[in-house]
Chain A
Amino acid sequence: MATEMKNLGSKFTLLFAAVFIFFPLYAATEYSLRNGAEKTHDLTAYRWILDQSGFAENLAITARITAVAVVINLLIMVPTVTWLHLSGQRYKRFVEILTIMPLIIPVVALATGAQIAFPSILKNSIYQLSFMYVVIAMPYTYRALDIGLSSHPLATLTQAARSLGATWIRVLTQVIVPTIKPSIYAALFLMVALSLGEYTLAQLLHWSTFPVWVTNVSQQNITGATALSVGSIFFAWVLLFGFTFFGGKNSKTVKEEA
Chain B
Amino acid sequence: MKTNSLIVSGLTRRFGAVVALDDFNLNVAKGELVALLGPSGCGKTTALRIIAGLEKSNTGSVVLNNKDITNDHAHQRNMGMVFQAYSLFPHLSVAENVAFGLKMRKVSKSIREKKIDSILELVGLDHHHKRFAHQLSGGQQQRVALARALVIEPEVLLLDEPLSALDAQVRTNLREEIRRLQLELGTTTLFVTHDQEEAMSISDRVGVMNKGKLEQIDTPDVLYNNPASSFVASFVGNMNKIPTQITDGMVEIFGSNVIALKRGNESGKVHALIRPESIAVIASSGQSHAKVLTRSFMGASSNIVCQTPDGTIVQSLMTSAATGDLHPGSQVQLQVLSKEVLVTNA
Contact = CB atoms under 8 A, between A and B. Distances in A.
B101 A164 contact: yes
Given A162-B75, A164-B152, A255-B93, A157 B87 contact: yes
B104 A165 contact: yes
A159 B104 contact: no
Interface in A178-216: 178-179, 181
A113 interface: no
Given A258-B96, A258-B130, A153 B86 contact: yes
A166 B104 contact: yes
B79 interface: yes
Contacts of B95: 258
Contacts of B92: 178, 254, 258
B74 interface: yes
A167 interface: yes
A162 B74 contact: yes
Given A156-B85, A159-B81, A160-B145, 9 more contacts: A152-B90, A156-B83, A165-B75, A166-B75, A166-B104, A178-B89, A178-B91, A258-B95, A258-B130
B90 A163 contact: no
A236 interface: no
Contacts of B76: 165
B236 interface: no
A123 interface: no
A163 B96 CA distance: 16
Interface of A: 152-153, 156-157, 159-167, 170, 174-175, 178-179, 181, 251, 254-255, 258
A162 B80 CA distance: 10
A160 B130 contact: no
Nearest to B90: A179
Contacts of A181: 91
Nearest to A159: B54
**Residue of A178, A181, A255, A258 with most chain B CB atoms under a 10 A cut-off:** A258
23 contacts: A152-B90, A156-B86, A159-B54, A159-B81, A160-B89, A162-B54, A162-B73, A162-B75, A163-B53, A163-B74, A163-B79, A163-B81, A163-B149, A163-B158, A164-B75, A165-B75, A165-B101, A165-B152, A166-B75, A170-B104, A174-B100, A179-B90, A254-B93
Contacts of B80: 163-164
A255 B132 CA distance: 8
B83 A159 contact: yes
Nearest to A151: B90
Nearest to A152: B90
Contacts of B86: 153, 156
Contact of B89 (A161, A162, A165): A161
Contacts of B78: 165
* Smallest CB-CB A-B distances: 5 pairs: A258-B93, A164-B101, A165-B104, A163-B81, A162-B74
A165 B72 CA distance: 12
Contacts of A160: 81, 83, 87, 89, 145, 148
